[in-house]
A = this chain, B = another copy of it.
Amino acid sequence: MVQTPGGESLLFLTDEQLRKGIEAMFFAYRGFTADPDRILATMDYGRAHHRALHFIHRSPGTTVSNLLGILGVTKQSLNRVLRTLIDDGHVRSEKGRKDGRERHLYLTEKGEAMEKQLSDAQRARMRAAYRAAGPAAVQGFRQVLEAMMDPDLRDYYNRLREGS
């Protein structure tokens, strides 16, 4: 048992522990995306569409460049996804009133319904995991994930509806 001068355990910082953490992230992320992926496969959409829907739902009226920053893809890549969502009537794009260059993005009713279907499935898995692990574990979960983010993404994360 490794002990610091102060007496706290450092067992959790061994390479073996760190590898377990890495593997946990890998396998958990698979579970995390599995349910929405199954639903998306039945429609003609992919994970990229889900991500766009999620963040537009979360920040209605967000601009394209804001979304680019959050998603970390090129505008060509985002545009392809956005194009299909708009054409299919899931997303509405509105020219900015103040700055006419910007496009503000909103979900239509149809888009909201689809977002709900996807996030219901994803939240169900998250809820089950939270319930199984308990509130204290959930707090630790969030703390470690937050510490793992790149600083600029952490800012985005914290600004998304100051809900904590």
Chain A contact residues, CB within 8 Å of chain B: 8-9, 11-13, 15-32, 34, 51, 54, 58, 72, 119, 122-123, 125-150, 153-154, 156-157, 160-161, 163-164
Q: In the complex, A86→B149 CA distance in Å?
A: 34
What residues of B have a CB within 8 angstroms of the CB of A58 in the complex? 19, 23
Interface of chain A: mostly helix, strand, loop or mixed? helix
Whether A149 contacts B13 by the Cβ 8 Å rule is: no
A143 to chain B, nearest CB (A): 4
Q: Which of B12, B25, B72, B122 contacts A138 (CB 8 A)?
A: B12
Q: Which of B18, B26, B130, B154 contacts A127 (CB 8 A)?
A: B18
**Contacts A21-B130, A22-B122 given: A28-B149 contact, CB under 8 Å?**
yes
